[in-house]
Amino acid sequence: MKEEILTYLKEQVAGDDKELLDSLYAEYCSTAKEYVAALRAALPAGDFSELKKLAHTLKGNSAMVGDTAMNAHALAFENGAKAEALATCQAEILELETLLKELD
């Protein structure tokens, strides 16, 4: 579990409600995994419009739970997709996948 996210959620939403905190964290992890997997799957097609949408949503989700690292790399991915910079997107997907491992 990533302490930065847990601290943020506790301060902003859950307080001392451990069940709510665990539920929010689990939901975020699940959603983040889905979006990173979708980005990975869409990358070979080079559909930058779809990649931009997926990265934008991941960026917003990560901001809402205080995951600053995931947010920064999702933003970089989104900017790469906007610029149709495949190399940037390929580099950022590796970073996002690494960050996912840290969530468990």
Q: What are the tokens at 5?
A: 């996210």
State if pTM tops 0.85.
Answer: yes
Per-residue confidence (pLDDT) for residue 14, from 0 to 100? 72
Q: What are the tokens at 29?
A: 């992890």
Which residues have C-beta within 8 Å of that of residue 80, sequence separation ≥ 6? 86, 87, 88, 89, 91, 92
Neighbour-count burial for 6-41, b at 16+ CB within 10 Å, e otherwise:
bebbbeeebeeeeeebeebbeebbeebeebbebbee
Per-residue pLDDT of the chain (104 residues; tens, 9 = 90+): 588 898 898 888 878 888 998 899 999 999 999 999 999 999 999 999 999 999 999 999 999 999 999 999 999 999 999 999 999 999 999 999 999 999 88
Q: How many other CB atoms are there within 10 angstroms of residue 101's CB atom?
A: 7
Set out the domains of the chain in order of their start, with CATH numbers: 3-103 (1.20.120.160)
Per-residue confidence (pLDDT) for residue 72, from 0 to 100? 97
Q: C-alpha angle with apex 46: 101 to 66, nearest 5 degrees? A: 35
